[in-house]
Amino acid sequence: MQLVILDRDGVINEDSDDYIKSPEEWRPIPGSLEAIARLRRAGWHVVVATNQSGVARGAFDLDTLMRIHEKMHRAVREAGGLIDAVFFCPHGPDDNCACRKPKPGLFYDIAQRLHIELKGVPAIGDSLRDLQAARAAGARPLLVRTGKGSQTLAHPVIDADVPVFNDLARAVDALLTPDAS
């Protein structure tokens, strides 16, 4: 199975320091929906792994989060794509859970539920914690400059071997034409 793991905010949709708190606030990054559709047409499975601490912080509830995800699923389907599953952590940074990135719990959950090995599976994110979680789970981290990606690039601990792309569409270009990356 060809699988790619995507972060949500800053990779698929515009990010906000105040959280995406409603379906109305969820806006796709230009080209991201089409990039997911191209992955699907090429036979890839797409899952999302996202921290959603706004739930723990009371910014929105689980019902609202589900409505946001339904809007995302619908928009991706309308573009000709499919997100196979969304894995999310609703906990806050002080909850000491295993699923909040940079811990790899969401990735382990994906591996267990899909009965796959994550070694080499591309995981596209925009933050240091996305890269750390992917690496800890054995996946292959890729960074996009959208969302918090440009700020993340300035972080001194970013490994030189982490590929960097302007956005999800360019990362998908590289996945679909590996000899060009």
DSSP string for 21-86: -SGGG--BPTTHHHHHHHHHHTT-EEEEEEE-TTTTTTSS-HHHHHHHHHHHHHHHHHTT----EE
d(CA 90, CA 63) in angstroms, rounded, equals: 12
Q: Which amino acid is at 149?
A: G
In the residue annotation, 61 being an active-site residue is answered as no
Using CA atoms in the order 95, 100, 105, 109, what is the torsion angle rounded to 10 degrees? Answer: 110
> Are the CB atoms for 4 and 134 separated by under 8 Å?
no
d(CA 53, CA 82) in angstroms, rounded, equals: 25
Q: Which of 91, 2, 99 is nearest to 47 (CA)?
A: 2
> Are the CB atoms for 100 and 93 separated by under 8 Å?
yes
Which of the residues 9, 15, 126, 167 is marked catalytic? 9
Which of the residues 7, 126, 130, 167 is marked catalytic? 7
Residues labelled catalytic: 7, 9
